[in-house]
Structure 1
């Protein structure tokens, strides 16, 4: 279902994994990767949203540094991913998100969904680009919670996520009460079936809420 395309961005031409629905799209989604690149999991996420009726595009955010990065969920992959996101920077990530949104705008209203590091990029897409966005366990959100979203935002967090303690989750509710913030009996990365923290019941419920969010905000 999915295939690689090219996306022109302010940081050069990059690749992206695009998946299209079988019928007329109900909108479009930019899928923002974790720190591990556009790997098999992120490609499958894009394809699953296409099954639900959305044109889904997962930009390869690391291409300006190194093309087609795919990392494992081990210590070496984490270290390499952290280095790459530090070198890329969030401002460039927002630029790339905007370019990806432009590339699929012909499919209708565009939203954004991101995971881990990508969750924070998705939050910034709502705040700075006006894209309705869903943030899965974005551990880097805190510095941006004083900004005002230009579009609706939904957040999903695991109650056992050591990188996002309960007081940090509450900070989201206190500073941005207009956001939908949900917690689940799970750890970090609970949506990813390739990670040890995968929790299928929580992943399923978060997905149902995410699809409802996009149904309401991309109609």
Structure 2
């Protein structure tokens, strides 16, 4: 664990992991409502293994430092109550300080889960020095469709999320063709977390594969390779296709 300081002088902790070799860039991981849990730390470690400097700020520190809650209904309720007390602008300030702390490693991606996914989406247009953003299960994200994206943005949504109807995701897609959004049939909130009963291994692996690919394009600086139905940031138009039933890709509408 390390200590960081935001512009307003507030200090907070962060879990950081280093790659074995010269870093390809950096990834900032934003927690869900359960805090800086062992599962989030494993995500940080996993990105370090992939060759990135990885770091997860403890965004609840402004209210309750060092908190890590259980992945159950009680933990979710407690975490949601803490999250409601976090001023979003101050959270963005903490994210900026975290990005600044790792930018010497190269370009920086920001990845967030649920509550952190919403913050990642907001940070994309407010935090300096971000190369790309990835968000999982951001239930508030779809309501923030008005602003054009300033950096490449990839989103993962669950089709059976009780807090986010599929119709709302479909409408979001129509408003934001500059975002590449995927849904996962039969998955529900937290499908990527192996500490939760909602974990779905196949969907988690598919989402991670897409996430790593996205980061490799925009952090490592490789020439973009078009994801199927990817957003305008893929730097190429998709071919006209007839969308098949059950296709989980909710990228931009066809030309």
Shift of 1:135: 0.6
Counterpart in the other structure of 1:169: 169
Matches within 5 A, 1:108-123: 108-123=106-121
Find the aligned partners of 1:54 and 1:164 in 2 and give their Cα distance. Answer: 32
User: Aligned partners of 2:47, 2:118: CA distance in 1, in Å?
Assistant: 20
The equivalences for 1:77-92 within 5 A come to 77-92=75-90
Q: Secondary structure at the match of 2:84?
A: helix
Relative distance call for 1:171 and 1:93 in structure 2 (3 A) is farther
Give the whole-Å Cα distance in 2 for the aligned partners of 1:11 and 1:190. Answer: 36
Coordinate RMSD, CA, aligned: 1.1
User: Partner of 1:104: helix, strand, or coil?
Assistant: helix
Contact 1:7 1:16 in 2 (8 A): yes
Q: Which runs of 5+ in 1 are unaligned?
A: none
Larger helix proportion of the pair: 1
Structure 2 counterpart SS, 1:21: coil
Confirm whether residue 178 of structure 1 aligns to residue 175 of structure 2.
no
Q: Which residue of 2 aligns with 1:56?
A: 54
Is contact 1:25-1:53 (8 Å) kept? Answer: yes
**What is the aligned partner in structure 1 of residue 124 from structure 2?**
126
1:17 deviation in Å?
Answer: 0.3
Residue 194 in 1 paired to residue 195 in 2?
yes
- Rounded Cα–Cα distance in structure 1 between residues aligned with 2:9 and 2:42: 26
| Aligned counterparts of 2:88 and 2:174: Cα–Cα separation in 1 | 24
Contact 1:11 1:64 in 2 (8 A): no
Are the aligned partners of 2:61 and 2:67 in contact in 1 as well (CA < 8 Å)?
yes
Taking structure 1 as the reference length, the TM-score comes to: 0.95
The runs of 5 or more residues in structure 2 that have no matched partner are 222-255
The TM-score normalised by the length of structure 2 is: 0.82
2:135 matches 1:135: yes
> 1:43 and 2:44 equivalent?
no
Q: Is the 8 A contact 1:21 1:53 kept in 2?
A: yes
Q: Select the residue among 93, 96, 120 that pairs with 2:94.
A: 96
Return the offset for 1:11: 5.5
Cα shift at 1:97: 0.7
Partner in structure 2 of residue 7 of structure 1: 4
C-alpha contact (below 8 Å) 1:120/1:138 kept by paired residues: yes
- CA positional deviation for 1:182: 0.5
Given that residues 148 and 178 in structure 2 are in contact (C-alpha distance below 8 angstroms), is that contact kept between their aligned partners in structure 1?
Answer: no
- Distance in 1 of aligned mates of 2:24 and 2:78: 36
Q: Computing the radius of gyration over CA atoms, which structure comes out larger, 1 or 2?
A: 2
Extract structure 1 runs of 4+ deviating beyond 4 A.
none
Of residues 127-136 and 92-101 in structure 1, the stretch that sits farther from structure 2 once superposed is 127-136
Offset of residue 98 of structure 1: 0.7
